[in-house]
Chains A and B, each alone.
Chain A
Amino acid sequence: MTDALLSVRDLVVEFPKRKTRLTALDQVSFDIRPGEILGMVGESGAGKSLTGAAIIGLLEPPGHIASGEIWLGDQRIDQLPYEQLRRLRGKRIAMIFQDPLTSLNPILTIADQLVETIQTHLPLNDKAARARAIQLLDEVGIPAAEKRIDDYPHQFSGGMRQRVVIALALAGEPELIIADEPTTALDVSVQAQIIDVLKRMCHEHGTAVMLVTHDMGVIAEACDRVAVMYAGRIAEIGDVRQIVKHPQHPYTQGLMGSIPSITQQVDRLVQIPGSMPRLDAIPSGCAFNPRCNQRLPRCTQDRPDLITTDQGHVACWLYEGATP
């Protein structure tokens, strides 16, 4: 925890409802080290986007952090007053959303938006800020950046817009970027390019990234480590190669097997029966137990916490007693 840039400890996010409270995130803990890309993967409703929103303080009411701590370096940020948190955003933590159109103001030129962001966070005059903006656009691969900087967002294609959004996120030289499904809205042939840009830029600038996605391909391409989320909890967290090649949690195993392979032909895909439970009907014990093909008797009663194995951390009773 000492060398971590972002440290999330036992984070619980709740949504009060009429009669009950829905626990959308339950005891989520993980670290991101400086310059590291951590993938958050899971199916819709697993809580991966919510984790990002909780870190940056953008939970939609009535959702709120019920307990747990979020540390950015040595500053605790989950209890910051609104104004301080607002200043933190963009400067120390930046955000990249799924749809580049919603992150860009349609009536301002790219130059206006970039220069404003740069000047908000860095003490630069107009000329220097513009030069920095052009440099950033150039770095993210916008051809003829000096000319295109005065264009409006609608004059860019989808992929180019997402590049601009990446430049915008990097403008304040943040320590952490939370990227929420940054490639989902893009065409396949553009996705690969955007992943490349994000990966390259963050490595060059030493920025840590929390990459939220449902796409295992994106994870395998971009991340150093992966957290697999299921029903508001982390099922497994570890090195990306380890998780892709040797998944431990039965859910991760099923998830990996259910993706059609390009290199081998199988007759039937591995399928996990059923679907993820809704938040108001999470089973007792391990949330995955009704769908699990390796269920033990205790899985229906006791909830497993993350167990450290020699290959990472996994929340599954199968690994109880495994030597770390």
Chain B
Amino acid sequence: MTDQTTPSTPPTNDGLVRRILDSDLFYDFSRRPIIILSAILTLVIILAAALAPWIAPHTPFDPSTLNLMDGFTPPMQPNAFTGNLYWMGTDSQGRDIFSAILYGARISLLVGFAAVAFAAILGITLGLIAGYKGGWVDTLIMRIADVQLSFPAILVALLIFGITKSLIPSEMQEQAAIYVLILSIGLSDWVQYARTVRSSTLAEKNKEYVQAARLFGVSSIRILARHILPNVMGPVLVIGTIGLALAIILESTLSFLGVGVPATQPSLGTLIRVGNEFLFSGEWWITLFPGITLLILALSVNLLGDWLRDALNPRLR
């Protein structure tokens, strides 16, 4: 009675790497040069940011290492007074722009990842509950989401940022700034996750494997966590990737507006803002290089997210 004739697929435990290299996703990836480039650029920026303390030629925010004489050195030209050479030049304080970018990307990425993680956890939880429970719980959560969605994300983030900051004593604001930023970006972005997860949950909860689990008396929480959650994570991965690009841009925007991270711990956005003041006096490099880095980072991550969305969508294949 054994179905011997059906081709037995190779055993599943022959190494994760083999399986990834053999997957359709990887095959699709390997045939798209732009996506490969995006992935490499993203990876390089993330690695460089993570390893900033070790690979940066200078520590730009340690005042003791700065030499004011190095100020306004143009890129790839030796400084007129000190003779020091900087790839991307220096700012008014004599900080190395390249090092500042490495440290800045570190902050930007940290805020981006943390905000996405926060938004995803919040959104997934609320989406699962709304979709599975239905009724007034669903209505309440989704109406809040609708209201929030009718405001631009930047406005929501600014609002939350403002409120949270006013609740924190002024002496702690400096250290808390980064957490407040993560909170406000995360809170402004959970709706996407909640909506997607809710609609997937609605579809999954009526599938027969969930009904079967209910027959065994499995609790709702366990059904959500063990059965439904793994099956709704696909789209979340896509939103998360695109969301990372959005979060980085939102952080930069807030920092550019001067409400984000303090100037003592500048992110890419802060660097652009600071450099912006010197743009018209001819020191273009101070704002241009951080700007290009932000552009490449956001664009690469976005392209990756778009590709992932298309590649994981069975209807477009």
Which chain A residues lie closer than 8 Å to B24 at the CB level?
18
Complex contact B27–A290 (CB within 8 A) = no
B6 at the binding interface (Cβ < 8 Å): yes
Complex contact B27–A277 (CB within 8 A) = no
A273 at the binding interface (Cβ < 8 Å): yes
Complex contact B6–A273 (CB within 8 A) = no
For A19, the closest partner residue in chain B by CB is: B27
Q: Mark A267-299, 1 if CB is under 8 A from B, else 0.
A: 000000111011011010000001100000000
Which chain A residues lie closer than 8 Å to B4 at the CB level?
273-274, 290
Query: Which residues of B line the A interface, CB within 8 A?
Result: 1-7, 24, 27
CA distance A290 to B3 in the complex (A): 10
**Additional pairs, 13, CB under 8 Å, beyond known A18-B27, A273-B2, A277-B6:** A18-B24, A273-B1, A273-B3, A273-B5, A274-B3, A274-B5, A275-B3, A275-B5, A277-B5, A277-B7, A278-B7, A281-B7, A291-B5
Shortest beta-carbon distance from A147 to chain B in Å: 39
Shortest beta-carbon distance from A203 to chain B in Å: 40
Which chain A residues lie closer than 8 Å to B1 at the CB level?
273
For B3, the closest partner residue in chain A by CB is: A274
Shortest beta-carbon distance from B66 to chain A in Å: 56
Shortest beta-carbon distance from A251 to chain B in Å: 12
Shortest beta-carbon distance from A107 to chain B in Å: 23
CA distance A281 to B10 in the complex (A): 12
A sample of 12 cross-chain residue pairs with beta-carbon separation below 8 angstroms, ordered by A number, consists of: A18-B27, A273-B1, A273-B2, A273-B3, A273-B5, A274-B4, A274-B5, A274-B6, A275-B3, A277-B5, A277-B7, A290-B4
Complex contact A280–B7 (CB within 8 A) = yes
Which chain B residues lie closer than 8 Å to A281 at the CB level?
7
For B4, the closest partner residue in chain A by CB is: A274
Shortest beta-carbon distance from B105 to chain A in Å: 37
Q: Which of A157-173 contact B (CB under 8 A)?
A: none
Shortest beta-carbon distance from B163 to chain A in Å: 49
Shortest beta-carbon distance from B73 to chain A in Å: 52
Which chain A residues lie closer than 8 Å to B6 at the CB level?
274-275, 277-278
CA distance A280 to B6 in the complex (A): 11
CA distance A118 to B146 in the complex (A): 48
Shortest beta-carbon distance from B27 to chain A in Å: 6
Which chain B residues lie closer than 8 Å to A18 at the CB level?
24, 27
CA distance A273 to B5 in the complex (A): 8
CA distance A274 to B3 in the complex (A): 4
Which chain B residues lie closer than 8 Å to A275 at the CB level?
3, 5-6
Which chain B residues lie closer than 8 Å to A273 at the CB level?
1-5
CA distance A290 to B8 in the complex (A): 14
Shortest beta-carbon distance from B315 to chain A in Å: 12
